[in-house]
């Protein structure tokens, strides 16, 4: 497996997270629209009942998909976290992988987290840790997936 394939695996949870964020926004918009429709009802029968039903159905569908996507993200995070735990690198290297691929943090936030946990590194040092940990992750991935080659 190529170096980039390991990154694709590690970035899998973030891809789902971004999709989930879009779906959360859709649910918020549909929920807001449903609340406006409900607020406009005054007890008198009027047209538009089918539109309201369509809106509520779309909202229910979006909420159902959101629940599934959140569960998928959590499952993927567990899978990625288990993999990171097995990467034969330093604790700081594994921390960088976790902060980047499970917490979706920027390089600045990763460095700040390391400093807050008595692991002071320069920006270049954090990049170096990441590169070394990613190389170790690639080797582990290849070792664990040799039957796929």
Reply yes or no on whether the pLDDT at 148 is more than 70.
no
| Segment 101-137, tens digit of pLDDT | 999 999 999 999 999 999 999 999 999 999 999 999 9
* 142 three-class SS: helix
Report residue 41's pLDDT band, with 50, 70 and 90 as the boundaries: low
What was the pLDDT predicted at 1?
Answer: 44
- Distance CA(9)–CA(87), nearest Å, equals 14
Q: Residue 129, exposed/middle/buried by CB under 10 A (0-12, 13-18, 19+)? A: buried
Instruction: Give Cα 141 distance to the centre of its chain.
Output: 21
Can you give the length of the chain in residues?
A: 149
| Segment 86-95, tens digit of pLDDT | 999 999 999 9
DSSP 72-93: HHHHHHHHHHHHHHH--S-HHH
Tell me if 101 sits within 8 A of 84, measured CB to CB: yes
pLDDT (mean) for 20-48: 77
The pTM of this model reads 0.80
What was the pLDDT predicted at 116?
Answer: 96
Reply yes or no on whether the pLDDT at 45 is more than 70.
no
Kindly report the backbone phi and psi dihedral angles of residue 118, in degrees, each rounded to the nearest multiple of 5, phi listed first: 55, 35
């Amino acid at each position: 497996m190529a170096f980039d394939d390991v990154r694709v695996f590690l970035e899998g949870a973030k891809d789902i997270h971004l999709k989930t964020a879009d779906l959360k926004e859709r649910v918020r918009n549909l929920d807001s629209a449903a609340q406006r429709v409900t607020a406009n009802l005054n007890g008198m029968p009027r047209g538009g009942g089918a539109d309201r039903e369509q809106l509520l159905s779309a909202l229910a569908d979006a909420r159902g998909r959101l629940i599934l996507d959140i569960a998928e993200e959590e499952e993927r995070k567990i899978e990625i976290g288990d993999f990171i735990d097995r990467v034969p690198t330093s604790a700081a290297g594994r921390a960088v992988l976790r902060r980047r691929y499970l917490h979706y943090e920027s390089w600045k936030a990763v460095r700040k987290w390391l400093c807050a946990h008595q692991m002071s590194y320069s920006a270049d040092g954090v990049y170096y840790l990441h590169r070394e940990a990613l190389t170790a992750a690639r080797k582990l991935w290849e070792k664990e997936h040799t039957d796929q080659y």
